[in-house]
Amino acid sequence: MPKYEEISAAKRAERDSKIPAEFRITVPEDDDNLLELPRACGIFTDQELSITEDHDSVALLEAIRDGRFSCLDVVTAFCKRAAVAQQALNCLTEIFFDQAYERARFLDDHFKRTGKPIGPLHGLPIALKDSINVAGVDSTIGVTAFAFKPEPKNSIIVDMLLDLGAVMYVKTNVPQSMMVPDTENFCFGRTRNPRSKHLTAAGSSGGLGALVGFRGAPAGIGTDVGGSVREAVTKTIPAYCNGVYGVKPSSGVLPYHYLKGYLTEGAEMIGILCVNGVIAVSLRDCDLLLRANAEAEPWLYDPGCAYLPWDPSPLPSRPLVFGVISKDHETHLLPPLKRVLDEACSKLKAAGHELVEIELYKSDELASNASNFFQIEGATALDLARSETGEPYTEAVQKGGLYPCKPGTIWDLFRYTTTRAELQLDWLRYWASTAKKTASGRPIDVILCPPQSGLPRPHDTLIRSHFSRVFNVLDYPAAIVQCGKVDLVKDSVDLPAPRSALDERVQSTFTPEKRERYRDFPIALQLVGQRQMEAKLMEVASVFESCVTAQ
């Protein structure tokens, strides 16, 4: 057995040993949609089902403060649900339930003695992407060479979340390299989508997306450098694919120091900055976590955070203006996405808001700039780690188009950085120029666009999208908002002639014989704001959600 396979077997055995016997179930082999498994498996009390299914983070925190649930009640329910999620979906890498129970008892004792919570997140279980360090726990990030090497200290964001009263209890699976759309690696294997065994859970925050989609966590923290909270570099979307909500903030908003990366140390500090983002079961949960972060003054925790107090200013008393991007230059939107986008636009107009068509400006140049930055390190650190155990590239990495590659030079870095700055300036001016299209003479408030051209992909069907990583290059915040679902009566229409080879791949996922797998599948749209205007984006997103979900 190759060394990497020996390590993998030992690491999986270690993880699985941390699932208590009373949390173990039998997973039906022939079931496709596993969302009803927690109710069917028989190990949950009525209260545990209510905690995990009927409450988002905001409601859970209210129930804890009101004394309806203890922190231990909530943490135990989600530990149990996460254990079931792992057995069904293979979404976890690290399990530390005992530490979570100890933390919950401490929080309950504090509340009982003082009558006050530790902070605004008192007792809230939060799941973490594997790259976020917890002291004494591995951060394998999908590479066997990093197994059984516990991290010496917490990531800064973990320290801040603990100060806010949160409880950490699991870490979640990622792809090898964290730069491909399928969450699969040689250490832990593949994570599956809770709604369909045929469809990807996405990446690189795919384990987190699957866990939250299964209600094994009310919320979690993932990372995003090319869309990995919203979607991955080759464009599948953890929040989108798993029917939940996600927000990628701008750099400098959430603490990022002391995360485990696959690049040579220091490489993530330059170029397109990777950011921590939020995946949650509701939009108001995303708002809660971003607001709590801002009110904790993260710039006092992490020198990489900007001074950005949460702006409570109300939206102007005028119709909001949405800049709608409904197409790119290579693909058509699949019928369900096009219909949901059209319906959302109709509802916004009916509510009195203004919509103007804009383009996905300079998308080719932005996408090219992203790829250049992603490849400049040449996968040097990843290849060094793989060589320690003889671990090959996964098929997804080989097909992903980024690695293997040759490293660039310092002159390449300067050139790419200059190009990025020019593109950011071009877009700043383009955004301002939209004022010429609006009735008010003011620029658009946000961009409304699809997250990608298609629906969640089948496994190993790599399809890039022009609707995601361009906003990482621009450092714009973006939110995924659930807006509808696939309706096979309305959406079973003939597909137009493909515009390109990429369009053929998109349409190949929605042929008549494959459509049944998408029945009632949730569909989200994407809202994008200007750099470091997260507070405004979340205000507009709340208005948007109210409009599009109204009957």
Q: Of residues 8, 155, 177, 204, which has the active-site annotation?
A: 204
Residue 437 catalytic?
no
What DSSP character marks residue 435?
A: G
The answer to whether the annotation marks 465 as part of a ligand binding site is no
What DSSP character marks residue 298?
A: G
The residues, ordered by sequence, that sit 6+ positions from 415 with a Cβ below 8 Å of its Cβ are: none
Is residue 237 within 8 Å of 452, Cβ to Cβ? yes
Q: Of residues 228, 250, 282, 468, which has the active-site annotation?
A: 228
- Residue whose tokens read 């009927």: 54
Looking at this protein, which amino acid is placed at residue 360?
A: L
The answer to whether the annotation marks 226 as part of a ligand binding site is yes
Residue 155 catalytic?
no
Is residue 181 within 8 Å of 203, Cβ to Cβ? yes
The residues, ordered by sequence, that sit 6+ positions from 249 with a Cβ below 8 Å of its Cβ are: 275, 276, 277, 290, 477, 534
Residue 508 catalytic?
no
Is residue 441 within 8 Å of 490, Cβ to Cβ? no
The answer to whether the annotation marks 225 as part of a ligand binding site is yes
Which stretches within 268-409 are classed as H helix?
A: 283-295, 335-350, 363-375, 380-389, 395-400
Q: Quick one: which H or E segment has residue 11?
A: helix 3-17
Report how far residue 165's alpha carbon sits from residue 118's, in angstroms, rounded to the nearest whole number: 5
Q: Of residues 11, 57, 80, 129, which has the active-site annotation?
A: 129
Report how far residue 132's alpha carbon sits from residue 155's, in angstroms, rounded to the nearest whole number: 6
The answer to whether the annotation marks 282 as part of a ligand binding site is no
The answer to whether the annotation marks 131 as part of a ligand binding site is no
Q: How many CB atoms lie within 10 A of CB 482?
A: 21
Tokens, residue 141: 């990030």
The answer to whether the annotation marks 220 as part of a ligand binding site is no
Q: Which residues pair with 278 in a beta bridge?
A: 221, 247
Q: Which residue numbers belong to the known binding site?
A: 178, 204, 225-228
Q: Which residue numbers belong to the known binding site for substrate?
A: 178, 204, 225-228
Point out the residues that are catalytic: 129, 204, 228
